[in-house]
Structure 1
């Protein structure tokens, strides 16, 4: 697998999808998902222009951070256990998977102890799949009200994972729905909420996600191959 060629290909596909909605490649952030990828291959990706990496597991961040350090922006994109926040609070630049009040409380506490304000995205389970994390759309208004109490987190947008379907086109309604919610929240006034990032789309469906408004896509296999 030639990582550099794969990145060029992915960016070309991203650009073509962005043009359909009147945007450019520069409007979309590519997060290279490095789950199980060794630091040497992450280095290859960085040398080929990757500036953001996404990790699913706290342990992988802890093991790879000494090698990669802050040469990239670190995104925690997987489910996060409350008792593991302390291990990554000083390493990640943004958390995509805020899905419960207890986690918001812990992130806020640890961020306060480190003297930082940490950007987070709220993970929404648009499809209501029992196997996926994320709050339901119906719970979002109450959740947004409750997290006003936290001074050391800033909600910067929303994230979702679409169902894995036989035809990527079938994911479109899920992405369109989240974009609709994202735009609605933009019109409201919250002390610590701004809608800047819409994180949706992975290797199987990122072009559809971009066409529906995503400005962050999380791509692993199309860059690093099957692992």
Structure 2
């Protein structure tokens, strides 16, 4: 898996190069370390390296890490969320990257109201149209976004998508470019709660292309902390 610090140094260089090619500031890009396939010690190593943002997709796998690491890190939930798991997610996670249906928005908002806290949410969009992926259809995004924006305990941070798994990162470019277009479409509404400044897109195989197309949050697992490819 390599040393997290060395991995992080190489990734930073690749982000800087991608930003240079696309006329962006590297400071606009936040890396989220996806630790769902590694143990607590590897997660601790990521935090010790200076990585603040940590992502998990299952509450039961995150629990022992929270117990060991205390309040360290800013936690992101990136998996498909069932309504019966909303309570612990609201209690411990700061970001939810997978808001994809109105029933979930209602439940997250209800739980947030009970705890008097705000959940920072990304609206998940199935840009690729793959049956295996969750997310709202692109042509239904505006309607869903306007409905989600009505919940005062949800802060809509931006949009999220997952590109198709491919050995050629260049094949993912149209997906990322389309999410950027959808972001701009929402911004043209000039809705005060749909400024959607962020794009959560790009993983270990395709993050360089994602940066070139406007990603502000990258979800990096195997290339950064190791684990499943």
TM-score band, normalised by the shorter chain? over 0.9
Supply the distance in 2 between the matched residues of 1:43 and 1:149 (Cα, whole angstroms): 38
Q: What's the TM-score, normalizing by structure 1?
A: 0.96
Alignment partner, residue 187 of structure 2: 186
**Match runs of 1:65-76 below 5 Å:** 65-76=66-77
Supply the distance in 1 between the matched residues of 2:149 and 2:34 (Cα, whole angstroms): 30
Structure 1 position 4, deviation (Å): 1.1
Structure 1 unaligned blocks of 5 or more: none
Task: Tell whether the 8 Å contact from 2:33 to 2:55 is kept in structure 1 after alignment.
Answer: yes
Q: RMSD of the TM alignment (CA)?
A: 1.3
Alignment partner, residue 83 of structure 1: 84
Task: Tell whether the 8 Å contact from 1:186 to 1:195 is kept in structure 2 after alignment.
Answer: yes
Structure 2 unaligned blocks of 5 or more: none
| Bigger mean CA deviation after superposition, 177-186 or 146-155 | 146-155
Structure 1 position 93, deviation (Å): 0.8
Structure 1 position 26, deviation (Å): 1.6
Structure 1 position 191, deviation (Å): 4.7
Alignment partner, residue 38 of structure 2: 37
Alignment partner, residue 144 of structure 1: 145
After superposition, the C-alpha distances for 1:180-225 in whole angstroms (9 at most, x for unaligned) are 1112211223353221210000000000000000011000000122
Q: What's the TM-score, normalizing by structure 2?
A: 0.95
Supply the distance in 1 between the matched residues of 2:158 and 2:227 (Cα, whole angstroms): 29
| Bigger mean CA deviation after superposition, 97-106 or 39-48 | 39-48
| Bigger mean CA deviation after superposition, 182-191 or 203-212 | 182-191
**Match runs of 1:1-227 below 5 Å:** 1-227=2-228
